[in-house]
Chains A and B, each alone.
Chain A
């Protein structure tokens, strides 16, 4: 069984400040991990993914995340927030790391709404 916990349903930062969105996961198999972003009235867009290669993953729009197995974490960071980063962010874990007959089902966290103040 898999699960994802995102700490903080709302995060507020000032423009230019560090963005840190927290994600902890639970998985009985080697996980694949994802961060998605959702802008208002749109579907989900992939920011970045970890699929058992490098533990520090760089994504689009200046975001990156580090897979830490010992802490079962996959926190999302961006050094300097921009107004356009305001959106809802979802962390997800996939069973795809199990190989074999895995279908790549995703289990999502509850989401974190990021607000960026001028």
Chain B
């Protein structure tokens, strides 16, 4: 079974803090994705990566950056957290024609 893990299920941070969300997959997948999920908006793509050190912006990249130093790990970085980044963050990795999702990190910025 494919396993995608995220470093935290719940996280509370203060405005202006630098925040790291970590995602690890165990299936040697090349493509990995970060989404945020908000009620009534579904999931929106923030960034994705198709290889180590390779990244592409998604639909809502503003205020975020990413890092992929190893194939199995894809990190989402909030350089200076703001209250409008309070959300559920979901990581996914892609196998053959299918994305596998982690359990999500619910981030609250106060």
**Which of A's residues lie within 8 Å of B, judged by CB?**
4, 9, 32, 34, 36, 41-46, 49, 51, 90, 92, 94, 96, 103-111
The tally of residues in B whose CB lies under 8 Å from a CB in A reads 26
Residues of B within 8 A of A44 (CB): 43, 90, 92, 101
Q: Are B42 and A43 in contact (CB under 8 A)?
A: no
Contact of A90 among B4, B33, B43 (CB under 8 A): B43
Q: Are B41 and A110 in contact (CB under 8 A)?
A: yes
Per CB-CB distance, the 5 closest pairs between chain A and chain B, nearest first, are A43-B101, A108-B42, A44-B101, A108-B43, A43-B103
Q: Are A104 and B42 in contact (CB under 8 A)?
A: no
Q: Are A110 and B99 in contact (CB under 8 A)?
A: no
Q: Are B58 and A90 in contact (CB under 8 A)?
A: no
A selection of 19 A-B contacts at a CB cut-off of 8 Å is A4-B42, A32-B97, A36-B101, A41-B9, A42-B104, A44-B90, A44-B92, A49-B98, A90-B42, A90-B43, A104-B97, A105-B33, A105-B45, A105-B48, A105-B58, A106-B33, A106-B99, A108-B42, A111-B40
Most buried by A among B31, B50, B98: B98
List 15 additional A-B contacts (Cβ < 8 Å) besides A103-B94, A106-B99: A32-B97, A36-B101, A41-B103, A41-B104, A42-B104, A43-B102, A44-B92, A49-B98, A90-B42, A96-B97, A103-B48, A105-B45, A106-B43, A106-B45, A111-B42
